[in-house]
Amino acid sequence: MVLKRQASHAGSFYPLNKDDLIKSIENSYLHKLGPGNLPKINERKKESIGYIVPHAGYMYSGPIAAHSYFNIANEGKPKVFVIVGPNHTGLGENASVWKEGIWQTPLGDVEIDNEVSRLIVSYSKYFTFDEEAHLYEHSVEVQIPFLQQLFNDIKIVPIVIKLQNEEVSLDLANALYKLIVDNGVDLVNIASSDMNHYEPYDITYKKDEMALKKIEELDVNGLFKVLDENNITMCGPGPVGALLYLGKKMNSRVQILKHATSGDITGEKDWVVGYAAARVVKA
């Protein structure tokens, strides 16, 4: 029996109807805060280690997320996308990898790369196979239709982190590094995170810039420190920290592709959430 995970946020974070979903994704690219053009799929170029992508409803963060996916299209399809998000539900283990089977979205089924998922767990001290953490979590799920709209037959490894600290981030980075260097796995790491939450526009924008400065510097310790000292409510420092550690190990640099807030989309600036798209690219 094949292990299946049904889409739990189709119809809320993104459209349930297939045609409406495709249109929503295309509109994200063409939005005034998006890249401005639809992406073009190129032959595989192994330039970027991974991307930071926001995970709110498509109407809010879709145009910012589109900047990362526009670049992903330009670099072609890897063997596997390792999609890492924070745990918003509190369910499941501290660091949860989905083992095998398929994930369903309105655009069809996506296969889990069970070989890669097993290797990640075998290389890690913290990460275990666990389904419960994933069942109602949106941070990984919302990334998948963007990838499906670009490529046929993608493979993914979904990972959700509840215990977000530097040690867990480094542990995942070490596992991914072994996959790439020792096993020759062609992967792209997607770190799913929104930035500061539910403060006025000016405050959120300033707090986001403080965090993004540390991200640009590949400074994981500095990122966790600045979040803590300034009460910056970025929700995915664990996934982002893992990507930054991996980038450092692979001699990479960070390019911020886009930074905006929900207020830039809706015009309501009293109470906003920050969003950023970035790529970690080989130096």
pLDDT tens per residue, range 152-192: 999 999 999 999 999 999 999 999 999 999 999 999 999 99
Q: What angle do CA 146, 47, 276 make, to 5 degrees?
A: 50
| Predicted local confidence at residue 1, as pLDDT | 83
Q: Specify whether the CB–CB gap between 238 and 161 falls below 8 A.
A: yes
Q: Which of 260, 216, 282 is nearest to 67 (CA)?
A: 260
Q: Please give the pLDDT value at position 211.
A: 98
Q: Is the pLDDT of residue 2 over 90?
A: no
| Predicted confidence band of residue 4 (pLDDT cuts 50, 70, 90) | very high
**What number of CA atoms fall less than 13 Å from residue 145's CA on the CB side?**
32
pLDDT over 90 (residue 55): yes
Look at residue 206 in the predicted model and tell me its pLDDT: 98
Task: State yes or no: pLDDT of 199 exceeds 90.
Answer: yes
Place of tokens 């998006």: 34
Q: CATH top-level class for 4-282?
A: alpha beta
Which tokens in the block code for residue 222?
């500095």
- Residues 56, 25: Cα–Cα separation, whole Å: 13
Per-residue pLDDT tens digits for 15-38:
999 999 999 999 999 999 999 999
Q: Given a cut of 90, is residue 265 above it in pLDDT?
A: yes
pLDDT of 181: 97
What pLDDT is attached to residue 68? 98
Over range 229-251, report the average pLDDT: 97
* DSSP 8-state assignment for residue 100: S
Query: What is the residue whose two structure tokens read 């992508």?
Result: 53
Query: 13 near 106, Cβ under 8 Å?
Result: no
pLDDT tens-digit readout, 76-91: 999 999 999 999 999 9
Query: Is there a contact between 104 and 7 (Cβ–Cβ < 8 Å)?
Result: yes
The model's pLDDT over 88-108, given as tens digits with 9 standing for 90+, comes to 999 999 999 999 999 999 999
